[in-house]
Structure 1
Amino acid sequence: MTAVESAHSLSEDQFAQLASGFGDAGAVSWLVQAQSSLQRELLAAVGRFGPRSDPRFAAAWDVLVSLDASAPDAVADVLAHPYTRVWAMRLLQGAADSAFAPADVHHLEAVAASAAVRARKDMRLPVPVRDGVAPLPMLGALKAGAVEQVWIETDAVDELAMAQPLRRLTSAGPTVTLEDTDPYRVLPYLGSEIHPTGRLSDAEAQQWQAAFADAIDFIETHLPGYAPGLRAGLCTVLPLRAEGPTDRSASARLAFGAVGIAALRLDPITLAELLVHEFQHVKLGAMMDAFELYDRSDTEPRYHPPCFTHPRPIEGVLHSTYAHLAIADFWRARETLATGSAREAAARRLAEVRGHTAEGLRQLRESGSLTTLGESLVQAMSEAERAG
């Protein structure tokens, strides 16, 4: 398998859209294509550096190569799953350390089986068991007992014995996965204060559905500049534990298309803010994968974005400032819609967010670490902040 070149180049106008904090369907679709190429490169590296001496790994790799020739779209779909990249990077780190974890090695079986299911191929394939179930990317988790593998007929998707079927959140805009089964969803947050939930109850999933549909309606109506990008690029919502006194959100550079949300109350307005806020990080992370925006050797946490208590490297300042463009637009909309004391509170919050954005932009301009393209990005962000 080799990397696939993007079908088209990102135009100056599309870059300007993204740099201003927005991005229409075409611009965000370009990011999706660029990530697809990156994911294929990672999978090729998995085949090159993975433990081909392991018979289960070698058999799964042969299945995947065969599927890539006969059903490339099905393989591409599985590669686009945000946590497939997380798994691939974990496996490659094992190769670099000469210490493969068996669970990571054998997860290739689940990736191959998921691709075969999507292709509706007539095959009998194994799916490895973890913690009493057999996670199958993009489908959920299969029932399993005290066995090492579950074998499935990949052309009989309706007959799969699912213990935890994956749910979908639908709306007038995007339809996304509510991801609470994939074992690799936890990895980006190990050692942090962010904790994905376990399996949600049916009632909790229904609450997510109701809030998500209304949140997208709010975005489509009151934040229309962000709606096309969400439709084109958001594919997964990761529920996080609602711990602490405030709503929280998180994304992972390795999990393109996924946003993590921890809402104390799943009300649509709060969810709308968290979605547009966190998808900013998703877009910027993909831009950082595609372009050199700053000196990559500038990793010292020497910057002080105002919304953080501890210093951050320049990448953190870029992310914080870019996200605040969307947060400001959200509070601008809230101020317009509210009356009385609620309007005053929204105005105060908007002023605070704009102050954070302006300070972040100042630190970026004075960093001395931006490339020419990075300077263009910051200039576009500055113009967007002033226009607001």
Structure 2
Amino acid sequence: MIPPLPDHALHELGRTEGGADTLRLLVRDQDTRRLLLLRAVLDAAEAAPTTVCPPRLLDRLRQDWALLETAERADRAAVRTVLLHPLAGPWAQRCLRGLAGAGSRAELHADLDHLSALAAAAAIRAGTAFTARLAAHGGLLSLPTLGALRTASGPVDIAFFDSDLTMRAVAAGPSLAAHAQPDGTISSADPRWLPVSALPALPGGVGPVPLDDVDPYRTDGDGLRRHGLSAATHIDDHERKAWAESWSGVGPLLRIGGAHRLTEAAVLLRCLVPLGPPPGSGPVGEGAAHCSGTRREAFGAVLSSRPATPAYFVSTLVHELQHTKLAALGSLTPLHHEDATPRHFAPWRSDSRPFDGLLQGAYSHLALADYWQRFALAARRVTHRDLAWAEHARCREQVGAVLPVLAGSAALTREGRLLVNEMITLYHRLDDCPPPTGHLARAQAYVATTRVIWQQRNGSRTQ
């Protein structure tokens, strides 16, 4: 896509940092891949047999593409806001899988219908007049990045002219009237309209951060639960205010972690997807109080249940954005040639991990160890300082338990070796300000115990 990253950028990323210029190289590569992926959907539909993509549906896809082109000529940046929205990535991947024969025809046709919604949203943002008939699925007609109309499934007529938007379900019901605002949002007094909420922009960010709880492609079936994550959820006004209150403290706390933490959030974070409480949590649950994750195909999105405090909100961003960075780096240049066999001990998981998963986890926990150390050193309240030292000590010991495996791999590429060496340098630099003895001892005992439990479960086939 773009030339390989220069070594100075790899050194930055190896320290879990990355200046704005380095991060924008990753962003540019990911954006280029997204646009090629979207074109691949149209090309695959053109090449598909009529039993997979009937002529009527193909004609509609061509019309949608033409609307995208018209809108892009009017306002390229507005259209890219929609096409580069993180959740358009999972949709495009689903379409390609369906066009290749995976899944049912009904699911594929519903997925392909979504291109009409993407084109409509892009045209609205670009101020391009149009009329179209879209399809609502699952009781919602989604306009990506803007919101969704709550309506019965089926065709919906939509018209946009001079900032005025009308939507009417063909089957029955009154029209919904809405208005496009200069800031790219859609306002309507009709309770059937569910707007995409947004959190204020971070310092240095390009704009508000969407809190997207209506996009139909924000999760992928039941896959989240296999990774300890809850399902995506719609949030009410009370929850929206709670998210905003927690978010209000994020900027200052990111600065405590260093200027690079604020920079990576400002450059990489494109939307948040709210998840429900973690599986097993609640008054009678025994699970974790928080869960979060990323999806490789949804570059820039962080999926998360609502963090309890701004400090944990920041640690969630630090953790998940390292996965975003490393996945983007791995797409740009191979870091290793290890296979995908899950055989390695990782003290943050009960199951065995493949080498790439081990590298991802070590990278994100190393960044957390660095963040919590800086937080502890800046904390004024004893309770905050103790919490931060405990988190730092645990993360640092977890990373230390797996670094020898990463460093000992003969399958690292030159770029991967450089990255891991920088990780080791940062790990040892953390020794300059060690945690209190008690926190260190508890962290060491925790990691030792998780290793024993893992060995009992998995035998001696690795490490």
Q: Deviations over 1:354-382 (max 9, x none)?
A: 11112222111223221111111111111
Consecutive unaligned residues in structure 1, runs of 5 or more: none
Q: Deviations over 1:202-223 (max 9, x none)?
A: 1211111111121222112343
Residues 1:267 and 1:69: Cα distance change in structure 2 (over 3 Å): same
Residues 1:155 and 1:277: Cα distance change in structure 2 (over 3 Å): farther
Is the 1:46–1:88 Cα contact (8 Å) retained in structure 2?
A: yes
Is the 1:141–1:163 Cα contact (8 Å) retained in structure 2?
A: yes
Written as runs of structure 1 = structure 2, the 5 A alignment for 1:157-176 is 158=179, 163-173=193-203, 174=205, 175-176=208-209
Please say which of residues 125-134 and 335-344 is displaced more in the overlay. Answer: 335-344
Alignment partner of 1:254 is 2:315: no
For 1:64, give the aligned amino acid.
L
For 2:96, give the aligned amino acid.
L
Alignment partner of 1:316 is 2:357: yes
- What is the Cα deviation at residue 33 of structure 1? 0.8
Instruction: Look up the match of 2:158.
Output: 151
Residues 1:107 and 1:344: Cα distance change in structure 2 (over 3 Å): closer
Alignment partner of 1:27 is 2:60: no
Runs ≥4 in structure 1, deviation > 6 angstroms? none
Residues 1:278 and 1:335: Cα distance change in structure 2 (over 3 Å): same
Whole-angstrom distance in 2 between the partners of 1:105 and 1:215: 38
Alignment partner of 1:231 is 2:250: no
- Tell me which of 23, 35, 45 is aligned to 1:40: 35
- Tell me which of 279, 287, 300 is aligned to 2:329: 287
Please say which of residues 103-112 and 68-77 is displaced more in the overlay. Answer: 68-77
1:299 partner SS: coil
Instruction: Look up the match of 1:385.
Output: 427
For 1:330, give the aligned amino acid.
Y
Alignment partner of 1:376 is 2:383: no
Q: Deviations over 1:13-36 (max 9, x none)?
A: 223212210112211111111111
Is the 1:171–1:216 Cα contact (8 Å) retained in structure 2?
A: no
- Tell me which of 142, 150, 153 is aligned to 2:149: 142
- What is the Cα deviation at residue 82 of structure 1? 0.4
Written as runs of structure 1 = structure 2, the 5 A alignment for 1:191-206 is 192=226, 193-206=228-241
1:151 partner SS: strand
Alignment partner of 1:209 is 2:249: no
Whole-angstrom distance in 2 between the partners of 1:281 and 1:223: 18
Residues 1:358 and 1:201: Cα distance change in structure 2 (over 3 Å): same
For 2:233, give the aligned amino acid.
G
Whole-angstrom distance in 2 between the partners of 1:155 and 1:372: 55
Q: Deviations over 1:89-110 (max 9, x none)?
A: 0000011116542210100101
For 1:156, give the aligned amino acid.
S
For 1:235, give the aligned amino acid.
R
1:183 partner SS: coil
Whole-angstrom distance in 2 between the partners of 1:170 and 1:102: 36
- Tell me which of 68, 72, 78 is aligned to 1:64: 68
Q: How many residues align?
A: 381
TM-score normalized by the length of structure 2 = 0.77
Whole-angstrom distance in 1 between the partners of 2:120 and 2:89: 16
Whole-angstrom distance in 1 between the partners of 2:420 and 2:355: 12
Residues 1:127 and 1:14: Cα distance change in structure 2 (over 3 Å): farther
- What is the Cα deviation at residue 143 of structure 1? 4.4
For 1:176, give the aligned amino acid.
V
Is the 2:147–2:214 Cα contact (8 Å) retained in structure 1?
A: yes
- What is the Cα deviation at residue 71 of structure 1? 3.9
Residues 1:81 and 1:345: Cα distance change in structure 2 (over 3 Å): closer
Structure showing greater Rg: 2
Is the 2:75–2:126 Cα contact (8 Å) retained in structure 1?
A: yes
Instruction: Look up the match of 2:139.
Output: 132
Is the 1:134–1:150 Cα contact (8 Å) retained in structure 2?
A: no
2:350 partner SS: coil
- What is the Cα deviation at residue 125 of structure 1? 2.8
1:97 partner SS: coil
Please say which of residues 49-58 and 237-246 is displaced more in the overlay. Answer: 49-58
Whole-angstrom distance in 2 between the partners of 1:195 and 1:376: 36
Instruction: Look up the match of 1:121.
Output: 128
Residues 1:274 and 1:146: Cα distance change in structure 2 (over 3 Å): closer
Whole-angstrom distance in 2 between the partners of 1:271 and 1:326: 15
- Tell me which of 332, 337, 357 is aligned to 2:399: 357
Residues 1:13 and 1:257: Cα distance change in structure 2 (over 3 Å): same
1:335 partner SS: helix
Consecutive unaligned residues in structure 2, runs of 5 or more: 46-52, 165-178, 181-185, 282-286, 431-463
Alignment partner of 1:111 is 2:157: no
Q: Deviations over 1:288-312 (max 9, x none)?
A: 11111111x6111121122111111
Whole-angstrom distance in 1 between the partners of 2:111 and 2:154: 17
